Amino acid sequence: MPKLIFNAEASKRALRRAADLLDDMTPVYQDIGEYMVEATRKRFQTGTAPDGTAWAPKSQATLDRYRRLGYGSLNRPLIGPSRSLSKQILRLVDKNSVTIGSNLIYSRVMQEGAAKGAFGSDSRGRPIPWGRIPARTWLGLSDADELAIVDIAEEYIETRLDTGE
């Protein structure tokens, strides 16, 4: 029986080239981060969680307080006078990952909610927060987001491997 000889040098070179080209995924993570920041900002316009459920409305006490302070109606959930949470969505990118979030102290409470008095009380003995804050999931991936991320990654990989850049 004749001895079979395989020359895998071309495939080895192609795999090494692909690994080298995909070693630093910073550009694709930057694109994913930009997409997710924009998708998250849109949630503030629609008042919906990543799964499509509507955010809990603001309480009447909150609406009344805004009117007393001269802020007008501001009736959309998670939209306060400064609109800080919707404006300060951050992305941190490196060659291995992208992280989306906010460094605002109250961002986690808005995401997960909090019971009245969950953080103790102020100097006058009033509970912090002064009322129950319902969870309003503003951060996360929708089904459409997941598909978009796959598209971004596939396009990046195809372009890199086709052009070798």
Q: What is the pLDDT of residues 114-143, one digit of tens each?
A: 999 999 999 999 999 988 999 999 999 999
The answer to the question of residue 8 being in a domain is no
Of the listed ranges 1-5, 137-141, 149-153, the least confidently predicted one is 1-5
What backbone torsions phi and psi does residue 68 show, to the nearest 5 degrees? -60, -35
CA 149 to chain CA centroid, nearest Å = 12
What domain range includes position 59?
Answer: 34-163
The answer to the question of residue 7 being in a domain is no
> Could you tell me which residues come within 8 angstroms of residue 5 by beta carbon, excluding any fewer than 6 positions away?
none
Query: What is the C-alpha to C-alpha distance for residues 78 and 158, in angstroms, rounded to an integer?
Result: 39
> At what angle are helices 143-163 and 9-21 packed, to 10 degrees?
130
Q: Residue 164: is its pLDDT beyond 70?
A: no
- Can you give the pTM of this predicted structure? 0.80
> Could you tell me which residues come within 8 angstroms of residue 147 by beta carbon, excluding any fewer than 6 positions away?
none
The answer to the question of residue 26 being in a domain is no
Per-residue pLDDT band at 29 (split at 50, 70, 90) = very high
The answer to the question of residue 20 being in a domain is no
Neighbours of 86 (CB within 10 A): 19
The answer to the question of residue 141 being in a domain is yes
The answer to the question of residue 18 being in a domain is no
The answer to the question of residue 75 being in a domain is yes
Give me the pLDDT at residue 6, please: 63
Q: How many domains does one find in the chain?
A: 1
Closest listed residue to residue 100, CA positions, set 67, 63, 60, 141? 141
The answer to the question of residue 55 being in a domain is yes
Give me the pLDDT at residue 158, please: 86
